[in-house]
Chain A
Amino acid sequence: MDALVPRQDRAKDRGGPAQPLLLAEGLRKHFPVMGGLLGRTTKVVRAVDDLSLSVAKGETLGVVGESGCGKSTVARLLIRLLKPDKGTMVLDGDPVDEPHGITVAELRRQVQMVFQDSYASLNPRLTIAETLAFAPKAHGLPASEARERVRDLLAKVGLEPDTYMERYPHELSGGQRQRVNIARALALRPRLVILDEAVSALDKSVEAQVLNMLVDLKDELGLTYLFISHDLNVVQYLSDRVLVMYLGKIVELGSVEAIYGNPQHPYTRALLSARPSMDPRKRTKEAPIQGDPPNPIDPPSGCRFRTRCPFAEDVCARLEPQLADTRAQAVACHMRVAGSGHSKAAAP
C-alpha cells in the first residue's frame, strides 16, 4: 500500500502524449428530489446527462456555461467526490474503479481539485502548514519530509514559507488563501488539476496574478488543467480547448480559436454576445437570450436549448441533437447537421 512506500514522484506518463490523460464516457448524475410520503424519490434533477469528454495531456480544457448547468457536478464526478450513476472513466489508459483498473484513491492522487470558496476550503482550525501537510502525511510521508514539501509548495505559489507556515486561514487575504488552496492541490504532485471557479471569487487584479501563476505552474510542473468558469474572458485567456455546457449536456466543443472566432451553436453565440465589451460602439442593445434555463428536473424534450433558441423548429422538440463533428468543432445542433429536418440545415 501507499502507506509503506511514500511515492514522492509524480505518476509516470504511461500511454505517451497522444493518449488522453482523462477520458470520461457517458457520465451521468441524477440527484433524487426527496418528496411525497415517507421521503420517496419522486423526481430527479438531471444535473449531468450522458456527458463524454477527453482531456489531452498538457492542455487546458475550459468548461463554460450558466450557473446550474452542471459544471461543478462534472468536476466532482471526475474526482469522484460524487459517484456517477452511469459512465466510465479512463485515466491514461487505466479504467477507474474497475476490476483490472486503478482505484478511486489512485485517481485522486493523480487528479486534484481547487474549489471556488477559498475560505470554506481551508480548515479554520489548522495552520497553513498543517493543511498542506495533511495529504502527504495521509499518504505516508514522514513529518520532516512533509514539512520540507510544505515549504517547497508555498514557495511555488509565491508565498514566503517562513511568514505563512504558522498562519491561520483567517489571517490571510482571499488571494493568499487561494494560493494556499492551489498549493494543497499540488501537494500530491498530481497530473490533472481541476480548477472549479478557482479565481472567480477574487478581485480582478488578484485574479490576474493568480492566473499568471497558474500558467507558470503548468509549464513548470507539466500539469494539465480542467478550468471551469463562467467568465468567458478568463477561459479564453487560459484554455486550449473549450467545452460549452447547457443543462447537463455538452452543446459545443472545440479549440479556443474555433469557439470564440466561429461559434456554431446558438447558445454559444448568445453567451459570447452577452460578454460585456470595453468598446462602447459594440455594446449589445438587447439581451441575446431571455429568461432562465429550464428546470433540470423536467428538461425540455429533444434539444434542451430549444425553449430559448430563436431558431427552434419542430425537429428540435422531437429529436435530441447529437454532438456532431464538424471540422475541428463538435456541435450539438440540428441546424449544423445536414438532412436533420431543420430548415436551416444543409441538404443531405
Chain B
Amino acid sequence: MAIQSPSLDIAGTAPLGAALTPVSRGYWQSVRRRLGRDPVTLICGAVLLLIVTSAVFAPLLGLADPYKTSMIRRLYPLGSPNFLLGTDELGRDMFSRLIYGGRLSLFMGVTPVACALLIGGSLGIAAGFSGGWVNMMIMRIMDVFYAFPSVLLAISLSGAMGAGAENTLLALTLVFIPPICRVSESVTTQVRGFDFVDAARASGAGALTIVRVHVLGNVLGPILVYATSLISVAIILAAGLSFLGLGVKPPEPEWGLMLNTLRQAIYVNPVLAALPGVMIFITSICFNLMSDGLRAAMDVKA
C-alpha cells in the first residue's frame, strides 16, 4: 500500500486528524468516535439497554408471575420482603409487572415510530426529491393531518376504532407519519440542492439510483435522530391512551395502564402509585437525551 506519508504532504492537504492517522476515516466511524466521548449519551444508552434487555428476556429472569393476584397482600409498600417494589392494588408483584410492562410499553413506543419511519420517510424523501407537484400533493395531505393536535388525533382514532393494542399501534403510526414525512422532506430538499446531486443527474443516472447512492446516506442520519426523539413521545402517548382506557386492556401489564389502575391508591401509597410513571419518565428522557447526543455526534461539519 502506498499511503502517502503525512509529512510529505506538500500542499498541506490533509486536515490535522487525518495527518495523525494515515488511514482514511469514514463518516460513521467519526460519529462512533464522537459518541464514545459523550458520557451522557453513553449512560442513557446503557440504561435503555438494561430496560430493553430485561423487558425482552423477562420470562427468563425468574420473576414472580405478574398476573398472580392476592387479596391478602394488596398495596405492600416498597422494600417489603419478597416484594422489592411492593405490590399493586390486586396484590401483584410490582417489580415483575414493571419489567413485564416494559415489553408492551417499549413495543408500543418503537413499533409505530418504525412503521411511520418507513412510510413517512419514503413519502418525505419522494416529495423532497421530486419537488414540484408531487411534493405539493404529498405535503398538503400531510398538512391535513397536522391540523389536528397529535394527542387529540390519537385519542379520536383509538376511540373510533375501539380499544386494543393493535388499534393503538395503528393510531400512533398515523399520528407520526406527518412529522417524520415533513422532516424527511425538508432534509431531502436541502440535499437535493447540492451540486453533487446535480452532477449525478448530469451523469444520466436514474432517480432511484441517485436517491439510493447520493441522497439516502445524507438524509438518513437526521431522520433517524428525529425518529429516536419520537419514541419517547410514542411511549407517553401509548401510556396516555392506556390510561384513558383506549389502549391496552387489563390485566396486561403496561406502564400507562398501571398508572391508571394504581390511581385509586395514590392516597394510600403515593410512591407505589408513581412507579410506572417513573419508568415512563426514565425511558423517555433516555431516548430524548440519546437522540440529542446522536444529533450532536452526527453534526459533522467536515
Chain A positions within 8 Å of B, measured between CB atoms, are: 76, 79, 81, 105-106, 108-109, 112-113, 115-117, 120-127, 130-131, 134-135, 138-139, 160, 162-163, 166-173, 175-176, 181, 184, 187-188
Judge whether B209 is part of the interface by a CB distance below 8 angstroms.
yes
Contact A160:B11 (CB < 8 A) given known A113-B202, A126-B213: no
Pairwise interchain contact A81-B202, C-beta atoms closer than 8 A:
yes
Judge whether B15 is part of the interface by a CB distance below 8 angstroms.
yes
- Among A115, A130, A163, point to the contact of B3 (Cβ < 8 A): A163
Pairwise interchain contact A108-B14, C-beta atoms closer than 8 A:
no
Pairs across A and B, CB under 8 Å, 20 listed: A81-B202, A113-B199, A123-B196, A123-B218, A124-B302, A131-B196, A134-B203, A134-B205, A135-B200, A135-B204, A138-B204, A138-B206, A160-B2, A160-B4, A166-B24, A172-B13, A176-B11, A181-B199, A184-B199, A184-B203
Chain A nearest CB from B121 CB (Å) reads 17
Judge whether B1 is part of the interface by a CB distance below 8 angstroms.
yes
Pairwise interchain contact B205-A138, C-beta atoms closer than 8 A:
yes
Chain B nearest CB from A133 CB (Å) reads 10
| Interface residues contributed by chain B, number (CB under 8 Å) | 32
Pairwise interchain contact B11-A162, C-beta atoms closer than 8 A:
no
Contacts of A162 in B (CB 8 A): 1-3
- Chain B 184-227, CB-CB to A under 8 Å as 1, else 0, gives 00000000001110111111111001000110011000000000
Chain B nearest CB from A94 CB (Å) reads 16
Contacts of B213 in A (CB 8 A): 123, 126, 130, 134
Residue of B nearest to A169 (CB): B302
**A124 to B27 alpha-carbon distance, docked (Å):** 8
**A127 to B24 alpha-carbon distance, docked (Å):** 9
**A187 to B2 alpha-carbon distance, docked (Å):** 24
Pairwise interchain contact A120-B196, C-beta atoms closer than 8 A:
yes
Judge whether B12 is part of the interface by a CB distance below 8 angstroms.
yes
Pairwise interchain contact B15-A134, C-beta atoms closer than 8 A:
no
- Among A81, A130, A160, A188, point to the contact of B201 (Cβ < 8 A): A81
Judge whether B18 is part of the interface by a CB distance below 8 angstroms.
yes
**A123 to B27 alpha-carbon distance, docked (Å):** 11
Residue of B nearest to A123 (CB): B196
Chain B nearest CB from A199 CB (Å) reads 15
Contacts of B196 in A (CB 8 A): 120-123, 131
Pairwise interchain contact B205-A112, C-beta atoms closer than 8 A:
no
Give the top 10 A-B pairs by smallest Cβ distance, nearest first.
A135-B203, A121-B195, A138-B205, A170-B302, A125-B217, A173-B13, A108-B204, A115-B195, A162-B2, A105-B204
Contacts of B200 in A (CB 8 A): 134-135
Contacts of B199 in A (CB 8 A): 113, 115, 121, 181, 184
Judge whether B26 is part of the interface by a CB distance below 8 angstroms.
yes
Contacts of A116 in B (CB 8 A): 195
**A148 to B108 alpha-carbon distance, docked (Å):** 50
Residue of B nearest to A172 (CB): B13
**A108 to B202 alpha-carbon distance, docked (Å):** 6
Chain A nearest CB from B16 CB (Å) reads 11
**A39 to B12 alpha-carbon distance, docked (Å):** 50
Contacts of A187 in B (CB 8 A): 203
**A125 to B29 alpha-carbon distance, docked (Å):** 11
Contact A168:B203 (CB < 8 A) given known A120-B196, A126-B213, A162-B3: no
Contacts of A113 in B (CB 8 A): 199, 202
- Among A130, A135, A167, A175, point to the contact of B205 (Cβ < 8 A): A135
Chain A nearest CB from B5 CB (Å) reads 10
Pairwise interchain contact B217-A81, C-beta atoms closer than 8 A:
no
Chain A nearest CB from B131 CB (Å) reads 13
**A139 to B26 alpha-carbon distance, docked (Å):** 26
Between B15, B195, B199, B302, the greatest number of chain A beta carbons within 10 A of the residue's beta carbon is seen for B199
Contact A171:B18 (CB < 8 A) given known A108-B204, A135-B203, A138-B209: yes
Residue of B nearest to A39 (CB): B136
Between B15, B27, B195, the greatest number of chain A beta carbons within 10 A of the residue's beta carbon is seen for B195
Contacts of B15 in A (CB 8 A): 170-171
CB proximity to A under 8 Å, residues B9-38: 11-15, 18, 24-27
Between B25, B203, B217, B218, the greatest number of chain A beta carbons within 10 A of the residue's beta carbon is seen for B203
Contacts of B217 in A (CB 8 A): 123, 125-126
Pairwise interchain contact B218-A124, C-beta atoms closer than 8 A:
yes
Residue of B nearest to A162 (CB): B2
Chain A nearest CB from B20 CB (Å) reads 12
- Among B11, B12, B24, point to the contact of A171 (Cβ < 8 A): B24
Contacts of B18 in A (CB 8 A): 171
Contacts of B3 in A (CB 8 A): 162-163
Pairwise interchain contact A109-B302, C-beta atoms closer than 8 A:
no
Contacts of A188 in B (CB 8 A): 203-204
**A115 to B200 alpha-carbon distance, docked (Å):** 12
Chain B nearest CB from A223 CB (Å) reads 16
**A116 to B4 alpha-carbon distance, docked (Å):** 28
**A116 to B199 alpha-carbon distance, docked (Å):** 12
Pairwise interchain contact B2-A163, C-beta atoms closer than 8 A:
yes
Contacts of B202 in A (CB 8 A): 79, 81, 108, 112-113
Between A112, A125, A135, the greatest number of chain B beta carbons within 10 A of the residue's beta carbon is seen for A125
Contacts of A76 in B (CB 8 A): 198
**A76 to B198 alpha-carbon distance, docked (Å):** 9
**A160 to B218 alpha-carbon distance, docked (Å):** 27
Residue of A nearest to B217 (CB): A125
- Among B26, B194, B204, point to the contact of A109 (Cβ < 8 A): B204
